[in-house]
């Protein structure tokens, strides 16, 4: 084991050895990216059917042709974990057509708002939707390979590098989406492949949603390397799992990339996996840091080392100036997987790269002398519930009719604090949140206090509520 303090071992410093742990274990397959690589295959977890090799390539080409025949503009895809969703994604990449992958559990009102704002040329994955009719201006149709769709006039104009849009807060219905370039999507997949040691013999199953950056990157990494992806449950050598799912593992022998929220050190050390990689990421950049399994025992509370091609800096919150090693401030990530920027409607689809590869994360943390990144808190009010990122301010806005409420982030769960609410009222709040956000009720905890704690300024003392939420 290397000395993380930088002691020289066999002529190499500890810092060099730490960095080497995230070096590719194979020649770079992403220099000339092919998605999917000819040896890749998709497996339908329900039927066992396999689509691979020339048959997969032909299906992707056919899907690309279908998408290319639609009106210009964005394609919006409700993205269940199915072969059709993956074909739509791969077809869009091949056709160089921007596609938004959206939570299939999104409610009718939120979906209508997305359609109104982004005016997509088509909405995929609408089979079984609760809406009796398509939105105004759209017509129901059935497309080969891609199933039931709504087709519309589309909105002309998209930046030529725009490839993928993902939601920042999947379940509150926020219309803000993250814009990713083709190069950025492939860089995110390459980072996951390098960190997890994925190769041509690798296999994964869709344990995380396809509309989640980590779930999609895991799929892309395997397909680009000629591996196997099972849509649903299936055999795997590498899995992406939320902290809650890691806690429930029962002896998985392969590699687990933890994503979708921060994991408590005690849970990480107790995990029953062959190789556990803790990680830190956002929809805006995919995985940004990964803690090698070799460092887990020593640094279980850390986010990890920057992924390949990435680096972290820390800046002062007030002046924005760089801070020294070990000093806490806002973490800023730079790398090829950083988004182009945000979008709030069709007018933003023509925008180029607003960030130039630099992402202020909105998180507090520090970088140690050995390069290991530690996240200590948040600037923005967001939380992660069973792997799904959610805006805590949006949650409070949803519940404003309930009287005084405050929402905080628990350990992979949402904790809502009420003021003098009955048990029945708290149960109603839990049911309302589950219904409106689509979150599993198991990830929602509603608690009560005689009065919400306040700061001297009169605002809610969220720090105190977070402390209470851990008991």
67/132 Cα distance (integer angstroms) = 24
Domain that holds residue 397: 382-469
In a domain, 2, yes or no: no
β-sheet with 405-409: strand ranges across: 405-409, 414-419, 444-449
In a domain, 437, yes or no: yes
Among 380, 407, 439, the domain boundary falls at 380
User: Residue 458 has what pLDDT?
Assistant: 59
User: Residue 382 has what pLDDT?
Assistant: 72
309 Cβ neighbours under 8 A, 6+ residues apart: 187, 190, 191, 335, 336, 337
Strands (E), 232-284: 238-241, 252-258, 273-282
Residues 125 and 229 in one domain: yes
Among 324, 349, 380, the domain boundary falls at 380
This prediction's pTM: 0.78
Cβ atoms of 334 and 340 within 8 Å: the answer is no
User: Residue 10 has what pLDDT?
Assistant: 26
Q: What is the CATH number of the domain that holds 398?
A: 3.30.300.30
Give the tokens for residue 260. 């979708």
Among residues 70, 146, 154, 78, the alpha carbon closest in space to that of 110 is found at: 78
Residues 298 and 370 in one domain: yes
126/98 Cα distance (integer angstroms) = 18
267/309 Cα distance (integer angstroms) = 29
In a domain, 329, yes or no: yes
Write out the DSSP string of 63-92: HHHHHHTSPSS-EEEE--SSHHHHHHHHHH
Cβ atoms of 219 and 211 within 8 Å: the answer is no
Residues 117 and 131 in one domain: yes
User: Residue 60 has what pLDDT?
Assistant: 97
pLDDT along the chain (471 residues), means of 10: 28 31 39 75 95 96 96 96 98 96 92 95 95 93 96 90 87 78 96 94 96 96 96 94 87 91 85 90 95 92 94 88 92 97 95 95 92 85 76 83 87 87 92 85 90 72 81 71
């Amino acid at each position: 084991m290397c000395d993380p303090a930088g002691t020289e071992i066999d002529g190499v410093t500890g810092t060099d050895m730490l960095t080497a742990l995230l070096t590719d274990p194979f020649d770079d397959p992403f220099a000339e990216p092919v998605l999917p690589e000819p040896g890749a295959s998709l497996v339908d977890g329900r039927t066992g059917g396999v689509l691979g090799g020339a048959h997969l390539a032909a299906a992707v080409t056919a899907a690309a042709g279908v998408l290319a025949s639609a009106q210009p503009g964005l394609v919006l895809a409700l993205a269940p974990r199915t072969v059709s969703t993956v074909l739509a994604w791969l077809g869009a990449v091949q056709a160089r057509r921007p596609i938004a992958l959206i939570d299939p559990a999104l409610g009718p009102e939120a979906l209508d708002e997305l359609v109104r704002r982004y005016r997509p040329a088509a909405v995929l994955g609408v089979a079984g939707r609760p809406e009796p009719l398509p939105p105004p201006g759209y017509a129901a149709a059935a497309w080969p390979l891609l199933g039931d769709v709504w087709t519309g006039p589309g909105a002309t104009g998209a930046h030529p590098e725009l490839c993928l849009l993902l939601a920042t807060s999947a379940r509150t219905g926020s219309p803000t989406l993250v814009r990713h370039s083709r190069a950025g999507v492939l860089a995110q997949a390459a980072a996951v492949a390098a960190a997890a040691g994925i190769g041509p013999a690798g296999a994964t199953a869709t344990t995380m949603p396809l509309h989640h950056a980590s779930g999609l990157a895991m799929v892309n990494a395997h397909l680009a390397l000629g591996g196997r992806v099972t849509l649903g449950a299936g055999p795997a050598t590498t899995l992406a799992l939320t902290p809650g799912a890691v806690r429930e593992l029962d002896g998985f022998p392969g590699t687990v990339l933890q994503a979708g929220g921060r994991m408590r050190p005690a849970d990480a050390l107790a995990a029953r996996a062959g190789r556990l990689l803790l990680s830190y990421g956002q929809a805006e950049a995919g995985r940004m840091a990964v803690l090698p399994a070799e460092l887990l025992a020593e640094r279980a509370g850390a986010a990890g080392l920057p992924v390949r091609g990435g680096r972290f800096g820390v800046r002062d919150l007030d002046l924005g100036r760089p801070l020294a090693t070990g000093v806490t401030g806002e973490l800023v990530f730079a790398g090829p997987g950083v988004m182009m920027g945000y979008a709030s409607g069709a007018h933003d689809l023509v925008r180029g790269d607003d960030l130039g590869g630099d992402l202020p994360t909105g998180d507090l943390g520090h970088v140690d002398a050995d390069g290991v990144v530690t996240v200590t808190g948040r600037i923005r009010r967001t939380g992660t519930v069973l792997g799904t990122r959610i805006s805590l301010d949006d949650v409070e806005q949803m519940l404003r009719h309930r009287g005084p409420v405050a929402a905080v982030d628990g350990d992979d769960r949402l904790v809502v604090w009420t003021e003098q609410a009955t048990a029945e009222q708290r149960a109603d709040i839990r049911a309302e949140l589950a219904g409106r956000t689509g979150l599993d009720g198991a990830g929602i905890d509603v608690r009560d206090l005689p009065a919400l704690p306040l700061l001297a300024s009169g605002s809610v003392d969220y720090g105190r509520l977070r402390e209470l939420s851990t008991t």
